[in-house]
Structure 1
Amino acid sequence: MKRFIAVGMSCFFVAACSPTHGLRPIGDMSGVYKLGAGDQIRVLTYNDPQLSNTFVVSDSGTIDFPLLGTVRAVGQTPQGFAAALTNQLSNKGLLHKPSVSVEVAQYRPIFVLGEVSRPGQYNYLPGMTMETAVALAGGYTYRAIKDTASVVRTEGVVEERAVKGKIDPQTLLAPGDVVTIYERFF
């Protein structure tokens, strides 16, 4: 919806003044989930409880796994990472026919900034939208723009570089997203 403001004999196009003007929409996250720094994962090695544990993916994208040492986890699906651990345990002769599964115990957090009652860090939950993130942050302030916001996203982007785009209240978020709710000026 385009809005115009008439001032005297002049008319100004207000949409160009929007804080998200010029940002491309960032779509919903769909597809497979890939592990990232800050994710807490549970690794279950069947018939070997000493190799089963919960690990946090480090900032460098690795975990320290018993018998194997440092193993790269970032960018892999949980199933793909389980297969990689299985292959390494088998190829190094550490276990005979190992069976490993990996699940995300806790996703990396999201951050909500700007015109919300309690800006800060919040736990990500699958299916979370901008609207539910704002609800966790205590709701909008009276000055908030409620129909659009910006997000900085690192999940699912090319070359692991962050991208900034605009979202609406029903847009699905991804772990690690930084959502900014802007202030309206009138």
Structure 2
Amino acid sequence: MRMVLILTLAAVAALGASAATAVEPAPPAAIRAAAPSMAPGDLVRINVYDHPDLELELRIPASGSVDFPLIGAIEPNGRSVDDLAAELRRRLMDGYIREANVTVTVSEFAPRTIYVLGAVGKPTALPLDPNTVTTAVQAIAAAGGLTADADRASAQVVRETAGGQRESLPIPASEDALRTHDVVLRPNDLVVVPRLGRAFVSGQVAEPGPIALPSDEPMTVSRAISMSGGFDRFAKQSKVQLIRSGAGARTIDVSAILSGKGDEDPELLPGDMVYVPESRF
């Protein structure tokens, strides 16, 4: 996956960049108040006052879910320490402990990275500080700002969910909306700013990057993958995801389309992202 992201960044950077448009560098107060979230690789300590048998130190696994004594599975990934402590307190007091005073602390943070792709001055990977809230607009500013041909209305954050799917979080285009609805970033988020009249192909393809949408004929999912050099050897061809800003992700069986058994080969719209996941077998 790391190599795919590097290839994606290289493909986007090769497009060059025109004059950048300034963006607001700091998040508003409402967003600054958001608490940092835990992530896979973090070393977390959980204490329950006067119950040393419930003390637990764990490193959050990639799957996110871990077992806690008495109550079973908990999900620390993507949550604040206060939020997790509140859940543990509620579940422990539901038939196990009369008064549960729970504290959760992160004793060691794992490295965090986000990626800014598309119509920005310098497409790049950026470190994410776990103790500071970073928003999509801040990340765009750190990557050189928007280029003149940026499709601001289609900008989105693409995030992997717990089930391995990708979800789209639109980045508000208006300054008023950004004051309260800018997207707070999480580790491994992709901030994608399409170019006007283009879609984007990423993941397990030979040449990830933007695809121009012709005006005289439709550009479909399978054709966009073909234009990106085709699948690589590790591509999961039956689980390709079409991600559209504001509409979430849709799974497309491209292997069925290529064999003539698929019912529909969706046409791409400006700002769409085609993500080809990696086969885990």
Query: How does the TM-score come out when normalised to structure 2?
Result: 0.36
State the structure with bigger RCO (CA 8 A, min sep 6), 1 or 2: 1
Query: How does the TM-score come out when normalised to structure 1?
Result: 0.49
